[in-house]
A and B are shown apart, each in its own frame.
Chain A
Amino acid sequence: MITRGAALLSLVAGLAGCGYSYDFDPVTLGDDKAGRVPEPRTNSQYVRAVYADILGRAPEIYNFDLQDPSGKVVQQIPIQEQTYLTTALDATGDPAPLRALLAAGLLGSTECDVPEKEAVADPRAFIRDQFRTLLGREPNAYEAFAFEDAWNTDDATGPRAVIRAIVGSREYQSR
């Protein structure tokens, strides 16, 4: 088997015009992503990740003010985003449904600036942007086709659904 490391060394040797050749043991660089066994992100890791990726900030601790009609604060509810959301997710046998709901909630947040479907002039570029931002890679041809096709044929597939599909994927939810 010729590994990428050995091939690279041969290439470097060739380019240098070196008269000597050396034998090296096979070298493995990194891991083939498609071959790795994914390890699920913990609920705590997931919460921090979606906050960073969707809201662009870490979970925070603050008081939520309940106001009377005049604007006077009548009650303060302490909110610890990380603790509360993680506790809720930990109270499910499988967190996937609640994680999906949480992502829907974040995308509906007033802090989140997700465009309406009609406002997206170039769906292909939007989808590619989300893959790069959330997965750190380009969509492969099959994924690009599937996402673009759904965008064009299904009214329910828009920016929210694209982002939710990616953050709901095993690839995003694993490390």
Chain B
Amino acid sequence: MTFSRRTFLKAATALGLGAVTGPFVPRIARAASPFKAKRVIVVGVAGGLRLSESLGMAHGATMPNLFGDIPLIPGFGDTPAGAPQIAPEYPLPPLVTPEPLVKPLHTEGALITNLRYAEGAPGHLQGSACLVSGAYNNIDNRPDAHAPSPTLFELHRRATGAPSTDAWCLSVLSGFFRALQSSDDPEYGPKYGGTWLSPGSIMSPLLPLALSGDRSLKLDGKTPIPTIVDPKEEIAAVRKLTAVLDGNTPAYQDGAFRPSPEEAAAVEEHLAAIFGDPTYGSFFPKSFGVGIQSGADLGGTGDTVTTYHAERILQRFLPHVMMISLFDVDACHTDFNAYLQGQILVDACVRHLWETIQSTEGLKDETALFVLPEHGRQLFFNGKNPDSLGRSGLDHGIGDDGDRDVWALALGPDFKPGVYSPTGIQQPGRVSGRYETIDVLMTAAAMLGVNDAMTEALKGRDKRPGLVMEGILQ
């Protein structure tokens, strides 16, 4: 008898329901996965990206590596959209991007063109929190905020006992985006949280310069450039002695995320390799090839720097879960042309990320990549910073169709290539009749073997769980 993925999911769901209604089950057992993908990466094109500018290509083909140059949704024509329409008066920062792929990535994967971000505030933290938890939400933008329901990091770590270095959350935004690290669910929470970083605020030569003790540097090719020396052997020695001291001090009881000493040391070694590089190329190397031309160098943006460091982490730790929250396109509040340029960079970043995954042993052919806007943007211009092409800023947040109609691209060995816009998807409480943002997360959870746990956790919080997107799976 063949045990298909579909029958597996049905059986697993039945088992999951049994777990809910049965006696106390201390840990969630994981069955052998029917999926080829063992690792899941979710990229949130955060800041808000409308369907009309991305798949509709209403202002040119801004995302050619993902979508090509022919509009993929009705109402925008069926001929090549041409180059991105940047206003002639716009002071154009010269972008560095590779030649677009001849065959766009969507042809390799499943593209859902009518995804619906159906509920919850179309806000940055709320949208990104949905992308880590599968829960629509209206959490507050506060330093003490938590994800609204157990995150993929918590679900995965609790189910497998994996270390925190097996689950990462990288975010362009710092501050209260730390909320994405974990929920405050007493069964899960920070002890199962992911390792959260905002690389743009950390990865900079300013740190070694500030710590060098010097106030000047002669650029004569002979004077050593300041680095931070933190050898692996010393890290191990320090950890051993710190453990002696910590053994005499009670543990913190503030409930915050804290990795084990071993996990912290692994992260420190990763950082030490970057800050110990005397070329400073490890902060953001020219070889990344996506960014802004800055003289002879390559300048980074929030999205490009974050993507580069996501790749470094993927290659070093081969984590099973990663969520990347980008942000460049949010310049659109006051700058429509920067919004278009942000799309060009996101497109090149996602391509670079996918090519890195597919060229890294341990990730290749066993990683699922989901890319989707955290939400869209409103249907009307806000009048700020108008350009000569009659465009101005676009906000998000009121929840119109511009805010809520988005897309999702799924790449990986389990997806059935195609362009999908299904209707008639049924579930109690689902009025869209379409695949929704929460379905992407439930599908990701299924690949990690934690969809039942996610469903259980969401129901426990009166949240509507997403559905596994059977229609796009092999």
Which residues on A are within 8 Å of B, measured CB to CB?
A: 34-40, 55, 62-69, 71, 73-74, 77, 79, 81, 84-85, 87-88, 90-94, 96-98, 100-102, 104-106, 108-112, 140, 142-143, 146-147, 150, 154-157, 160-162, 164-166, 168-171, 174
Contacts and interface: CB of A to CB of B under 8 A. Distances in A.
B235 interface: yes
B244 to A, nearest CB: 4
Contacts of A39: 252, 254
Contact of B264 (A87, A96, A102): A96
Contacts of A35: 250
A143 B246 CA distance: 10
Secondary structure call for the A interface: mixed
Interface residues of B, number: 66
B238 A161 contact: yes
A77 B204 CA distance: 13
B206 to A, nearest CB: 6
Interface string B314-355: 000000000000000000000000000000000000000000
Contacts of A108: 211, 228-229
Interface string B28-51: 000000000000000000000000
B207 A105 contact: yes
Interface of B: 169, 174-175, 178, 181, 193-202, 204, 206-221, 228-231, 233-238, 240-242, 244-246, 248-254, 256-259, 264-265, 267-268, 271-272, 275
Given A88-B202, A108-B228, A62 B197 contact: no
Nearest to B197: A92
The 5 closest A-B CB pairs, nearest first, are: A93-B196, A109-B213, A105-B211, A165-B241, A91-B201
B238 A140 contact: no
Contacts of B257: 93-94
A170 B252 contact: yes
Given A66-B216, A150-B240, A170 B206 contact: no
Contact of B207 (A69, A88, A97, A140): A88
Contact of B219 (A69, A96, A105, A150): A69
Contacts of B213: 55, 109-112
Contact of B248 (A88, A93, A96, A171): A171
A169 B196 contact: no
A10 B240 CA distance: 44
A124 to B, nearest CB: 15
B305 to A, nearest CB: 12
Given A85-B210, A91-B201, A37 B237 contact: no
Contacts of B210: 64, 79, 81, 84-85
Given A98-B271, A157-B237, A93 B181 contact: yes
A79 B115 CA distance: 46
A161 B235 CA distance: 8
B272 A40 contact: no
Contacts, number: 200
Contacts of B245: 143, 165-166, 169-171
B238 A37 contact: no
Contact of B202 (A67, A68, A98): A98
Contacts of A63: 215
A85 B229 CA distance: 17
A108 B174 CA distance: 28
Contact of A104 (B199, B202, B230, B236): B230
Contact of B250 (A38, A102, A112, A156): A38
Given A93-B178, A161-B237, A164-B234, A140 B248 contact: yes
Nearest to A69: B220
B242 A169 contact: yes
Contact of B246 (A98, A155, A170): A170
A113 B264 CA distance: 27
Contacts of B238: 100, 161, 164-165, 168
Contacts of A101: 228, 230, 268, 271-272, 275
A94 B252 contact: no
Q: Interface centre among B178, B250, B265, by most A CB within 10 Å?
A: B250
Given A93-B195, A93-B196, A157-B237, A40 B252 contact: yes
Contact of A157 (B216, B220, B231, B241): B241
Given A97-B265, A108-B228, A154-B237, 9 more contacts: A91-B200, A94-B257, A94-B264, A101-B230, A102-B207, A104-B229, A109-B212, A161-B234, A169-B249
B233 A156 contact: yes
Contacts of A147: 241, 244
B228 A90 contact: no
Contact of B211 (A37, A106, A143, A146): A106
6 contacts: A66-B216, A88-B207, A90-B175, A91-B197, A150-B241, A170-B245
A93 B179 CA distance: 9
Contacts of B235: 100
Nearest to B143: A90
A87 B209 contact: no
B250 A37 contact: yes
Q: Interface centre among B215, B237, B264, by most A CB within 10 Å?
A: B237
B187 to A, nearest CB: 20
B256 A40 contact: yes
